[in-house]
Amino acid sequence: MAQNNLRVIVVGGGAAGISAASTARTVNPEASVILFTEYEDVAYSPCGIPFVHGREIPDFKGLFLQTSEHYAEIGIDLRFQTTVTGIDLNKRTVSVGSQVFEWDRLIIATGFEYEKPDIPGSDLEGLHYVKNIRQAMEFDKILDQIKKVVVMAATPLGIEMTGNLAHRGLETHLVDEGGWIMSEVADPDIMEPVQKSLEELGAKIHFGAKVIEFKGSNGKVKTVSTTNGEIDCDVVIVATHKQPNNRLSREAGIKIGSTGGILVDDHMRTSVKDVYAAGDCVEVIHGVTDIPIQGLSGSHAYSQGRVAGANAAGGDRAYDPVYVPWGMVGGKVQIGGVSLGETLHKALGIPHFVAVAQGISRARYYPGVSRIRVKLIADPKTLRVMGAQMVGGEGIKERADFLAFSIKRGATLHDFAWMENVYSPPIGALMEPIALAAQAGLAELAKRGYQPPKFAGAE
């Protein structure tokens, strides 16, 4: 039930924080909502920053989604460039320097920090972290004055920055310890076309290379030393993994989970009554493995913020375990998937069966048609699909969304093998690539003696 004169404080102005604040006001228009952010802006898309650097998007203005005036109009008190320095759970206050603010409900959306390299030279000028739009604006000016860039780590951000900077015409090197792109989570056969596309753009890929030192001159980075040699550069993009920004929560005594994210339940409630959390600072449950995970996409942060904001304001909404649909562009290729691929199933020791096939995105004769490789990962006993990975020229995002929805509801290889699909030459082929993969999997199982169940009513 909505409470009159409810005081809600939100710490953090990213996707989770701004959606939490907006939803709290929608659910309880009488609530007082204050949002603190240490930055100059809210409501922009940091995920679009690499594409401005690559000139796919003409300028940073297009990344802003709303104005601060909009949030004032709907009753949110935005406090820019304001750092919360402490949380007192007993007094139910947050501190901003010498100022103290009381709350009835607290929502923590402090986001993430990048894992900073613990190697010599990491304090040199010229190491750039892609996060804040104002910093990105200044960095973009630097890109006009340089020639050589090293991107550290083949993470999603690393891939996007590599492709965009190469497209911009810079000599771009991608350095990663793994044997292929996103080797910790993605399958090599899915990522092979991405590597080829990046190289066609002019990027130089260095796999199996660990960065051991940044060397500089006059305080500025000039060389990246790796286990495979040295690479000259003008700047370094540090695209290492994200880590939850949870210093405030730890110091306050809020429980932190095994991943480093704040422990929350399905209502985004923390271990402390009336304290909620959402976004990159929390851990949530994976729908297939029941393992806690964190560091998901902006769409997950936004959804979690909505749930936290609604419940903090007196609503009753649940956030389900996640099946993690994902997608991105690597060079000129689209990649994506759902849940876990073959690589992670092997790493976790989860029994699985792989069904894979290649289809096309449109009618074979229609301009713009591209190949789509689909890999479905199924339970070998029930044939329930547990994950998928895909690569192609178009249509990956929509398939990832569809697969996540279907997998969440227990779809099997049989379901996908006999699925209906749209056929229209400009937008869809006669045979859906997902169905082709499922059919190929069932055909392989038939060779091994597998007998499919009869349809209901069959004799």
Output the tens digit of pLDDT for each of the chain's 459 residues: 567 789 999 999 999 999 999 999 999 999 999 999 999 999 999 999 999 999 999 999 999 999 989 999 999 999 999 999 999 999 999 999 999 999 999 999 999 998 889 999 999 999 999 989 999 999 999 999 999 999 999 999 999 999 999 999 999 999 999 999 999 999 999 999 999 999 999 999 999 999 999 999 999 999 999 999 999 999 999 999 889 999 999 999 999 999 999 999 999 999 999 999 999 999 999 999 999 999 899 999 999 999 999 999 999 999 999 999 999 999 999 999 999 999 999 999 999 999 999 999 999 999 999 999 999 999 999 999 999 999 999 999 999 999 999 999 999 999 999 999 999 999 999 999 999 999 999 999 999 887 776 654 333
β-strand partners of 95:
86, 100
The C-alpha atoms of residue 95 and residue 106 are separated, in whole angstroms, by 13
Same domain flag for 214 and 153? yes
For residue 114, the surrounding DSSP H or E stretch is strand 112-114
Model pTM score:
0.93
Question: Closest Cα partner for 71 from 80, 59, 82, 62?
Answer: 80
Classify residue 220: in a domain, yes or no. yes
The C-alpha atoms of residue 171 and residue 205 are separated, in whole angstroms, by 11
First to last CA, the chain: 55
Catalytic annotation present for 47: yes
Instruction: Taking the CA atoms of 33, 34, 36 and 40 in sequence, report the sign of the dihedral they define.
Output: positive
Please identify, among 224, 240, 256, the residue that sits at the C-terminal boundary of a domain.
240
Phi first, then psi: what are they for 353, rounded to 5°? Answer: -125, 135
Classify residue 33: in a domain, yes or no. yes
Classify residue 352: in a domain, yes or no. yes
Please identify, among 205, 240, 275, the residue that sits at the C-terminal boundary of a domain.
240
Same domain flag for 375 and 399? yes
State how far the alpha carbon of 77 is from the alpha carbons of 45, 134, 412, in Å: 21, 22, 48
Same domain flag for 236 and 248? no
Question: Closest Cα partner for 433 from 399, 409, 384, 382?
Answer: 399
Number of domains in the chain: 3
Classify residue 321: in a domain, yes or no. no
Q: What CATH number is given to the structural domain containing 11?
A: 3.50.50.60
Classify residue 155: in a domain, yes or no. yes
Classify residue 274: in a domain, yes or no. yes
CA angle 250, 253, 256 (to 5 degrees): 55
Same domain flag for 269 and 341? no
State how far the alpha carbon of 48 is from the alpha carbons of 98, 241, 332, in Å: 36, 18, 16
Which residue range is the domain that position 360 belongs to? 326-445
Same domain flag for 330 and 363? yes
Classify residue 213: in a domain, yes or no. yes
**Could you tell me if 281 and 245 are in contact, meaning their C-beta atoms sit under 8 angstroms apart?**
yes
Same domain flag for 146 and 225? yes
For residue 387, the surrounding DSSP H or E stretch is strand 385-392
Same domain flag for 306 and 343? no
Q: Kindly give, in sequence order, each residue whose CB lies less than 8 Å from that of residue 294, ignoring residues fewer than 6 positions away.
A: 244, 257, 259, 260, 261, 280, 282, 283, 284
Please identify, among 189, 214, 240, the residue that sits at the C-terminal boundary of a domain.
240
Question: Closest Cα partner for 113 from 212, 260, 221, 223?
Answer: 260
Same domain flag for 368 and 281? no
Same domain flag for 232 and 267? no
From the candidates 47, 89, 146, 212, which is the catalytic residue?
47
Same domain flag for 256 and 183? no
Classify residue 415: in a domain, yes or no. yes
Same domain flag for 282 and 341? no
Same domain flag for 212 and 287? no
